[in-house]
């Protein structure tokens, strides 16, 4: 049985299975309540949630379009001046708007409550860790929350506008106009936002895989070429526009995230080897 570094951990190790189960149930209930509270708050601010946030990328005045257009003028690339108003949003289901309101409120509540959720999960697993593991995990909640939110903002300000511009304005024939359902629009934005938030957790995943010995810096460096190809494919799927600039805008940050993961993995791997070196000496 693994020794713990403090009496507090020793006491927690003596908890029975049912006591651990009760503790987990309490943690899950607090997480659910936190998500419900933040979702209700988001639901109450419908105008801000939809008009100023969710539907903002559909407006030509959205900040991303202004920045891209300015870059287009500097680089002599008029294609960067995006007009996202080539399609209309409609509701075709009786309860469509209410369901969309509920869904986006739940997603917004989850995003807002994420730091608290991670803190609750950390508080649950912390008693089972040694002092060294706690020191090595210091700041994990803040870093994980920060990376997820960066991914959310990256999706909202970069990926989503490019996706909306291309797919919303794509036409197979001038005889067919785009009438996009509200449900389709909301689902596309929320799905892409959550996926990018999770994708930006790559450094955290690499740290975990390095910690348990599955991943090493050497393996990461050898996989650079394949990773670059995968990232370019992902960027091409996320931004199906033929414009190479749009794909680079997505691909460059993702590849930078991979390189950051390599650096973090290298540092952690060195720290893991230090005790072995000391013992050998």
**pLDDT 10s digit of each residue in the chain, 281 long?**
344 444 444 444 566 777 778 888 999 999 999 999 999 999 999 999 998 999 888 888 888 888 888 888 887 777 777 777 677 888 888 888 999 999 999 999 999 999 999 999 988 888 877 787 777 777 888 889 999 999 999 989 988 888 887 777 777 777 777 788 888 888 888 888 888 898 898 888 888 888 877 888 888 888 888 888 988 887 877 766 666 777 788 888 888 988 888 888 888 788 777 654 444 44
Whole-structure pTM value? 0.79
Half-sphere exposure (Cβ direction) of 131: Cα atoms closer than 13 Å: 7
Contacts of 253 (CB under 8 A, 6+ apart): 154, 158
Token pair in block for residue 239:
């931004």
Torsion of CA 204, 206, 207, 208, to 10 degrees: 90
Tokens of 95: 């309860």
Amino acid 242: pLDDT: 64
Tell me the CA distances in angstroms from 161 to 41, 60, 61, 101, one per residue in order.
Answer: 26, 10, 12, 20
101-112 burial, b for 16+ CB within 10 Å, e for fewer? Answer: beebbbbbbbbb
State the Cα–Cα distance between residues 257 and 266, nearest whole angstrom.
Answer: 14
The alpha carbon torsion through 261, 267, 269, 273 (nearest 10 deg) reads 180
Phi/psi of residue 145, nearest 5 degrees: -65, -45
Whole-number Å distance between alpha carbons of 5 and 241: 55
Q: Give the pair of three-digit tokens for residue 133.
A: 């593991």
Q: Which of 32, 164, 186 is nearest to 98 (CA)?
A: 186
Tell me the two tokens of residue 186: 């909301």
Q: Residue 89 pairs with which residues in a beta bridge?
A: 180
- What's the pLDDT score for residue 274? 67
Q: What is the DSSP letter of 89?
A: E
What is the rounded distance in angstroms from the CA atom of residue 224 to the CA atom of residue 232? 12
């Amino acid at each position: 049985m693994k020794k713990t570094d403090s009496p507090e951990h020793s006491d927690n190790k003596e908890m029975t299975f049912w006591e651990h189960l009760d503790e987990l149930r309490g943690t899950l209930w607090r997480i659910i309540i936190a998500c419900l509270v933040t979702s209700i708050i988001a639901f109450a601010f419908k105008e801000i949630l939809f008009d100023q946030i969710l539907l903002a990328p559909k407006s030509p005045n959205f900040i991303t379009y202004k920045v891209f257009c300015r870059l287009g003028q500097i680089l002599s690339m008029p294609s960067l001046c995006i007009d996202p108003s080539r399609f209309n949003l409609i509701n075709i289901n009786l309860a469509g708007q209410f369901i969309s309101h509920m869904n986006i409120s739940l997603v917004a509540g989850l995003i807002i409550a994420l730091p608290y959720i991670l803190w609750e999960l950390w508080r649950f697993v912390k008693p089972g860790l040694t002092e060294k593991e706690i020191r090595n995990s210091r700041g994990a909640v803040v870093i994980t929350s920060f990376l997820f939110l960066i991914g959310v903002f990256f999706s909202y300000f970069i990926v989503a506008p490019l996706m909306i511009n291309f797919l919303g304005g794509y036409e197979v024939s001038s005889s067919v106009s785009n009438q996009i359902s509200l449900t389709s629009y909301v689902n596309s934005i929320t799905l892409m936002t959550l996926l990018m938030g999770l994708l930006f957790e790559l450094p955290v995943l690499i740290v975990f895989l390095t910690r348990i010995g599955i991943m090493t810096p050497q393996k990461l460096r050898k996989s650079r070429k394949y990773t670059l190809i995968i990232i370019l494919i992902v960027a091409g799927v996320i931004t199906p526009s033929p414009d190479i600039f749009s794909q680079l805008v997505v691909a460059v940050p993702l590849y930078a995230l991979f390189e950051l993961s390599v650096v973090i993995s290298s540092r952690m791997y060195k720290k893991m080897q230090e005790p072995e070196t000391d013992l050998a000496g």
